Structure 1
Amino acid sequence: MTSRLPLHAEFLLLAHDDRSGRPLIDSTHLKAGLAGAAVTELTLQEALRLEGDGRSARLHATGRAVAPELEEALARADGRSPKDAVARIGGGRSWRDRAGHLEAATLAGLEGAGVGVRGEQTVLGVFHRKVWREQDPAVEREIVERLRNAVRATGEPDTRTAVLVSLLSATGLLRKVLPEQDKRVLAARAKEISAGQWGGQAVATAIQEVEAAVVAAVVAAGAAGASS
């Protein structure tokens, strides 16, 4: 594969461990990050536009066609605030696994492109769980190298790489993807990249709102888990 993957596909690919085939983060973090990546991808494709300011800001569909895997996410985000969009797509406010369809469709796309293959693993001879087996490691290597260059450099990376760094940092994946980097330095650089002025102002504002929504979802899940 020579073309760059959409953000939700890159995020999901990096979220799986190469050896075990299992996610590197828990389902809440995974769903929030995947939802945020999908909304951001729709914004970058200009299929969604943020209108209004502050609490009244809402995402609105522009009528631009999107890939089939993103159609449901687009419909759920239309007319919503970034925070509500992430919650509705990620299933943060529902007993339904709303992110499951997006995850399955994204992995199916990666499988069709020859990046990897979905499978099942038997645990204790009884339980079955889904796993992801990488087939073309060059794809992930290119993404990781791009991230590594972004956090090592002093300038601003391209918009898509900057967004990916921010989403990975918000969900706790960045330090897992780049374990050789000093954690404090990595966190500081991720914060610097998130605050950058990459992209147009309108798009940058929308993306920053989505990133904040992902962080809020992760924090809320952590607080709920601590109190239970």
Structure 2
Amino acid sequence: MYIITFFIGHWFLSLFVQTFFLHRYASHKMFSLNSFWYKFFYVLTYVGQGASYLKPKAYAIMHRMHHAFSDTEKDPHSPHFFEDVFQMMWNTRGMYVIYEKDLQQPEPQFRGEYAEWKLVDKMGTSMTSRILFSVAYVAFYVVFATQWWMWLFLPFHFVMGPLHGAIVNWCGHKYGYSNFDNQDKSKNTTPFDFLMLGELFQNNHHKFPNSPNFGKKWFEIDPVYPIMKVLSWLRIIKFRKVQS
């Protein structure tokens, strides 16, 4: 029971910080945060993603490129140019490292308004941090795993951040239905996206990239949007503009 709870908790915490902080905030600036909450969610992202921490600046650059070049050869992670999801992930990783380590500057249109905290980024992207988190995951399984099959969940903890991105980009541009003609292959994979917290409403999102509500039809439920409404009501976040 402890292993299942730990896995589910890690899955959704890592996914939440990716969609809320890395995607909706760092990439699109759908809302603003004061200094305290900015640091809070930055640290939460580090803890939530752990061994697979993704630098917000690098994530934002690549995501902006994804929107600009959606499903073309310049798209960093379109599934339509790879034989399988693993090739897509490997290609994405190679490009991500370039921007994580600042080896190359992106085109001017993708620069600026980055979410940055150099101390946390330095820790989060260090091999030491990744190893320590990995050791902690293994230790938890050593203590609480009571059946052999529970160990099958362990590898996912090491790649949780990139895994979520791969699922969204592969499934969200291959499988499902479309509400809008976006001149790409984006899809809404499922009308109720609880498993990926709304990220699989890719067709809706590509039509309205700055809208914090990824669901557009009455039956499409984006689980993160109500949370954002509550955070807005509590004045933790402030929406950038009227939502579409």
TM exceeds 0.5?
no
Tell me which interval the TM-score lies in, with the shorter structure as reference length: under 0.3
TM-score (norm 1): 0.27
TM-score (norm 2): 0.26
